[in-house]
């Protein structure tokens, strides 16, 4: 199995991340959720991780697995909540929803704000560029060496911290609120590229002829290690009973072919499936 962890670097990045002191609300317990018969689960409308279609049906690696887990826990109904990615953690802390199924990367600074399940997915990085890639942009550190180009990131995503760690100047990083703004940002000249996960970039590539995934993209490396994320379900800081129950059901589901088929149907590779077992959440939160 490839050694593509983020060992060490997230702890050094934590100092660069502003951890806002958010007020917290008491999370609903598993028993309370069962009594009311429904659970509120948030997605950030990001394919292929968690999104709603035009009819309001939830899809993606997070929601599809979450549906099975809720059935296993005896929770009859799911109320899907769409929010910006940057609002996932505040929303969990404020009790606006009970759980997030956005495959949000498990990082030490986030572990200080919310609870995480064990990893459900793992994924690498990618770069969305103008069609034909006329600027020949093929790596995150390109923006550190060529200061005439700007790169967009989504608000709340950890690509900003990766870029900063690679020496990209803050003023060359453009923030957008949602993934669907990336195509317009590039097409209208607001940014020359969009840094996001490889699966997100591939999905956006299919949506417009004005952009494409950088085919010769070079994965970023920090301290000699390839950058890779592990995503999981997230909960409010007091939702231990719900988190623990989800972990138990998830452990059972990850032993089935159905779990693997769910991930691969959304573009995750066999390597991604195997790497999902590489680290525990405790290990990821402490690195």
How much is the pLDDT for 25? 65
Asked whether the beta carbons of 202 and 272 are under 8 A apart, the reply is no
What's the predicted TM-score (pTM) here?
0.85
* Residue carrying the six token digits 């309370």: 32
Which domains are seen in the chain, by residue range? 9-16+29-123+227-277 (3.40.190.10), 125-218 (3.40.190.10)
222 DSSP β-pair partners: 225
CA distances from 106 to 10, 59, 109, 205, 279 (A): 10, 21, 9, 26, 11
Q: Cα separation of 221 and 28, whole Å?
A: 40
Classify residue 139 as left (phi > 0), alpha (psi -120 to 50) or beta: beta
- Neighbouring CB atoms inside 10 A of 1's CB total 8
**Dihedrals phi, psi of 139, to nearest 5 degrees:** -160, 150
Q: From first to last of its 287 residues, what are the pLDDT tens digits of the chain?
A: 333 444 444 443 433 333 334 456 677 889 999 999 999 999 999 999 999 999 999 999 999 999 999 999 999 899 999 999 999 999 999 999 999 999 999 999 999 999 999 999 999 999 999 999 999 999 999 999 877 999 999 999 999 999 999 999 999 999 999 998 999 999 999 999 999 999 999 999 999 999 999 988 988 999 888 899 999 999 999 999 999 999 999 999 999 999 999 999 999 999 899 999 999 999 999 98
Longest distance between any two alpha carbons in the chain, whole Å = 57
221 DSSP β-pair partners: 226
**Best CA proximity match to 65, nearest among 119, 28, 125, 124:** 119
How much is the pLDDT for 260? 97
Q: Cα separation of 278 and 284, whole Å?
A: 10
Q: Which segments within 182-279 are labelled E, that is strand?
A: 193-197, 211-213, 221-222, 225-226, 229-235
**Dihedrals phi, psi of 43, to nearest 5 degrees:** -130, 160
Q: Cα separation of 74 and 219, whole Å?
A: 41
């Amino acid at each position: 199995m490839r050694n593509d962890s983020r060992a060490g670097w997230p702890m050094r990045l934590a100092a660069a991340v502003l951890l806002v002191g958010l007020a917290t609300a008491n999370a609903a317990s598993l028993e309370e959720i069962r009594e009311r018969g429904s659970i509120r689960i948030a997605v950030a409308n990001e394919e292929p991780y968690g999104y709603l279609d035009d009819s309001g049906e939830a899809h993606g690696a997070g929601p599809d697995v979450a549906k099975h887990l809720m059935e296993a826990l005896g929770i009859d109904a799911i109320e899907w909540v769409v929010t910006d990615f940057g609002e996932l953690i505040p929303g969990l802390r404020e009790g606006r929803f009970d759980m997030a199924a956005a495959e949000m990367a498990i990082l030490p600074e986030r572990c200080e704000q919310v609870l995480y399940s064990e990893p459900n997915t793992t994924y690498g990085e990618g770069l969305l560029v103008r069609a034909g890639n006329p600027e020949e942009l093929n790596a995150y550190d390109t923006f550190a060496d060529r200061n005439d180009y700007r790169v967009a990131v989504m608000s709340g995503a950890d690509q900003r911290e990766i870029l900063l760690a690679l020496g990209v100047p803050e003023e060359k990083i453009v923030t957008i609120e949602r993934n669907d703004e990336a195509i317009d940002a590039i097409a209208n000249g607001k940014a020359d590229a969009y840094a996001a996960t490889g699966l997100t970039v591939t999905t956006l590539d299919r949506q417009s002829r004005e952009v494409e995934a950088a085919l010769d993209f070079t994965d970023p490396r920090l301290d000699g290690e390839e950058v890779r994320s592990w995503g999981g379900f997230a909960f409010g800081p007091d939702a231990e009973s719900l988190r623990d129950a989800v972990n138990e059901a998830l452990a059972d589901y990850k032993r089935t072919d159905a779990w693997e088929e769910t991930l691969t149907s959304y573009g995750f590779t066999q390597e991604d499936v195997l790497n999902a077992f590489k680290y525990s959440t405790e290990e990821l939160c402490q690195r």
